[in-house]
Amino acid sequence: MKIQHLEYVIAIAREGSITKAAKVLYQAQPNISIALKDLEESLGIQIFQRTQSGMVITPEGEEFIERAKNIVEEFHSLEALYSRKEMNTSEIRVAATRSPYVAAAMGKMISDLDASDQGFSISLVETSTNKVIEETCNGIADIGVLRIPTLQLDVLQERLESKKLCSKTILEYHMQLMMHKDHPLAKYDDVPFELLEKYPEIIHNDTEVDIVRKASINPDYKSTPGGKKVYVYDRGTQKSMLDIVQNAFMWVGPIHPAPLALGSMITRPCSYATCLNRDIIIYRKKVENHPMIKTCIDYITRFADYTWNGMEEAKKKE
């Protein structure tokens, strides 16, 4: 039995299928299937019942998975503790879903630390919501930053509480559109939703895109059949696409207008986006008083405020 195998089982239980677990774990599906089969045979129990609708946890499996979660959490906490013990520098690891102001906050923090004689080691990873939660819970990340539709907040809070994670809302907002400053729709103060279907859309390559849109943009959101869609995961590539394909657009969260003004991008509101979204910082209770972590949370919070205030000021000027 390996820790990795336990992580596979936990992911299958959470996602409901081996296929979805493979996606969030960035593993080949056959590898997870073989590992699960070997684990069940070595333990002499059946963890999942295979059905047409997915993987159903057996009574034996429920007990095993609960114990596996505790083992995996303790393992990663222990690993994180002792991997840092011999380091003389201050270290912080942040996992975040896509958010430009988090990167800006970390950049400012690094610049300020660089001006001192203090050594440091800082890691920032942009990844999926599930990975942010799991890595923060397991101690791989010290801080997680989530972007979540407010409609899903109750479910998220239950999950965070079950993993003994603290949370703090730093922003609440509606999604907006980002596009090139020469885009035909840039002339609108409030972009009519029905005009969007004529133009290429850059889409963050999430699974279940339509479900995400219904929760984060509008409950009645319907994808246009035969529309022009480009699916991209990397944020840098998204920006490049918008810069080159000047008729393209993308739904985005809060972005401060000042950095945009230095480039070729602009943002525009669209009143069709009626759903509220939240950006939330998560962390383990045991680390909340660590000086480096408190400092990092403060930087991210301040840059969230800076971004929001900048957007409000831009609206007034318009």
Last-in-domain residue among 83, 110, 138: 83
Last-in-domain residue among 83, 118, 148: 83
Residues 64 and 118 in one domain: no
- List pLDDT tens digits, range 2-55: 888 888 888 888 888 888 888 777 678 888 888 888 888 888 889 988 888 788
Residues 135 and 281 in one domain: yes
Last-in-domain residue among 250, 268, 286: 268
Residues 151 and 290 in one domain: yes
Read off the tokens for 246. Answer: 């000047």
Q: Residue 274 has what pLDDT?
A: 96
Q: Tokens 């009519």 correspond to what residue?
A: 192
Residue 89 has pLDDT above 60, yes or no: no
Residues 22 and 72 in one domain: yes
Residues 73 and 103 in one domain: no
Residue 230 burial class via C-beta count within 10 angstroms: exposed 0-12, middle 13-18, buried 19 and up? middle
CA atoms within 13 A on the CB side of 62: 4
Q: Tokens 């774990």 correspond to what residue?
A: 25
Residues 51 and 200 in one domain: no
CB 293 within 8 A of CB 183: no
Start-to-end Cα distance in the chain: 62
CB 253 within 8 A of CB 170: no
Q: Residue 283 has what pLDDT?
A: 92
Residues 78 and 151 in one domain: no
Q: Residue 114 has what pLDDT?
A: 84
- List pLDDT tens digits, range 106-154: 988 888 888 877 778 888 988 888 889 988 988 889 999 999 999 888 8
The CA distance from 176 to 239, in Å, is: 15
Residues 250 and 214 in one domain: yes
CB 191 within 8 A of CB 270: yes
Residues 159 and 182 in one domain: no
Residue 55 Cα distances to 2, 36, 130, 243, 267, angstroms:
21, 12, 19, 43, 43
Query: How far is C-alpha 86 from the chain's CA centre?
Result: 31
CATH number for the domain spanning 42: value is 1.10.10.10
Owning domain of residue 201: 176-268
How many domains would you assign to the chain? 3
Residue 260 has pLDDT above 80, yes or no: no
CATH number for the domain spanning 116: value is 3.40.190.10
Residues 259 and 184 in one domain: yes
Read off the tokens for 30. Answer: 């056959």
88 or 97, which is more confident: 97
Residues 95 and 143 in one domain: yes
- List pLDDT tens digits, range 64-83: 888 888 888 777 766 665 55
Residues 92 and 162 in one domain: yes
Query: pTM to 2 decimals?
Result: 0.69
